[in-house]
Amino acid sequence: LALLAWFFLTSAPAGLSREAYWALGLLVAALPLLVFSVLGDHLIMLLMVVGWAGLGLVPARVALGGFATPGWFLVLAVLGVGVGLSRSGLLYRLVLALAARVPPKHVALSLAFAAAGLLFSPAMPNATSRTALAAPLVQEMSTALGYGQRSRGSAALAMAGLLGFGQMCSLFLTGSSSGLLVHSLLPAASRARFGWVTWFLAALLLHVVIFAGTYLAVLVFLRPEPMTPRSRDKIQAQRRIL
Phi-psi region of 37 (alpha: psi -120 to 50; beta: other; left: phi over 0): left
Least confident of 66-80, 124-138, 175-189, 225-239: 225-239
- Amino acid identity, residue 130? R
Half-sphere exposure of 33 (CA within 13 A, CB side): 19
pLDDT in tens, 14-50: 988 999 999 999 999 999 999 998 988 889 999 999 9
Q: What is the pLDDT of residue 147?
A: 79
3-state secondary structure of 52: helix
pTM value?
Answer: 0.64
Q: What percent of the chain has pLDDT over 90?
A: 27
- Residue among 64, 51, 59 nearest 24 (CA): 51
Q: What is the pLDDT of residue 226?
A: 73
Quote the CA–CA distance of 160 and 135 in Å, as a whole number. Answer: 11
- Residue among 82, 41, 53 nearest 175 (CA): 82
Per DSSP, 175 falls in state S
Cα angle, residue 63 at apex, residues 60 and 66 outer, rounded to 5°: 125
**Axis-axis angle for helices 196-221, 152-162 (nearest 10):** 170
Tell me which H or E stretch contains 162: helix 152-162
| Contact criterion met (CB below 8 Å) for 121 and 163 | no
pLDDT in tens, 81-131: 777 777 777 767 776 777 677 776 778 888 888 888 888 888 777 787 788
Integer CA distances (angstroms), 224 to 82, 154, 164, 165, 229, in order:
32, 8, 19, 21, 14
- Dihedral (CA of 91, 176, 38, 59) sign: negative
- Dihedral (CA of 167, 171, 174, 176) sign: positive
Q: What is the pLDDT of residue 212?
A: 94
